[in-house]
Amino acid sequence: MSNFKIFHKGINDTITEFQRNPFNFLYEIDIQAFLFASIYKELRGESLQLKGGYHPQTAYPDHNSISTVPIKCEYPSSKKFDIAIIDDERLKHFDRQKAIQEEPLNDFFWNQPVIAAIEIKYLQLGDSVSKKIKGLKDDAEKLSNHREKNRPFLGIALLFVQSKQFVQSILDIFKEKCPVFSDENLPEDGVFSYIVTPQQTRLCIHEQ
């Protein structure tokens, strides 16, 4: 299974669990944790080898190198997406010659290029609908700004809606472009935003 399919599976598993009972998730970080765990479970058999060198050799488990699963939270350190998958075709390794010139503050383990990322917002009881919609749009813009020309990147901004009392007002805002997120049409490139209500999931923005 490709990383993109695993990415989508984790999202779908999280949506299914959320819609079973939204109030199992009282905080945004609860959703983030479940989504991370769902994708981690699928990717834990995959390992990226990253070469360090900033620290003494004894700091690393294997001759200046570490192995790590590609799924991360709050990553990369320069952007901090809620969930991200490291791009295994563009790994950055420590280079002592470059380090002399650039003077990095650490190894590159925490700031690798990413090929897919998720941003999460949660509209809970007592929240402002307009502020959360703005947050969703800001997340989509953040993801779009991260894209590089001629490089594949999948960015997904999610707005989870805790209570059905919000549903009608939200769907009225996005009533024109709202096809349901489905396995038949899974994007592998671009930035997409989805509204996840207690009853359904809708695509509300599509940016290329």
Average pLDDT over residues 59-75: 89
d(CA 151, CA 194): 23
Q: Which range marks the domain in which residue 183 is found? A: 3-45+74-84+111-207
Q: Is 196 contained in some domain? A: yes
* pLDDT for position 27: 96
* pLDDT tier, 134 (very low <50, low <70, confident <90, very high otherwise): very high
Query: How many structural domains is the chain composed of?
Result: 1
Q: Is 148 contained in some domain? A: yes
Residues 153 and 147 sit within 8 Å (Cβ to Cβ): yes
d(CA 70, CA 10): 14
* pLDDT for position 183: 57
Instruction: Report H helices in 21-61.
Output: 28-43
* pLDDT for position 116: 94
Residues 180 and 192 sit within 8 Å (Cβ to Cβ): no
Q: Is 98 contained in some domain? A: no
* pLDDT for position 206: 44
Residues 120 and 158 sit within 8 Å (Cβ to Cβ): yes
Any bridge partners for residue 50, and if so which? 66
Token output for 107:
């190894």
Q: Is 90 contained in some domain? A: no
- Sign of dihedral through CA atoms 14, 17, 21, 23? negative
Tokens 């998720």 correspond to what residue? 118
Q: Is 183 contained in some domain? A: yes
Instruction: Report H helices in the chain.
Output: 3-20, 28-43, 96-102, 129-146, 167-173
Within a 10 A sphere around the Cβ of 18, how many other Cβ atoms?
25
Average pLDDT over residues 188-194: 84
d(CA 85, CA 93): 17
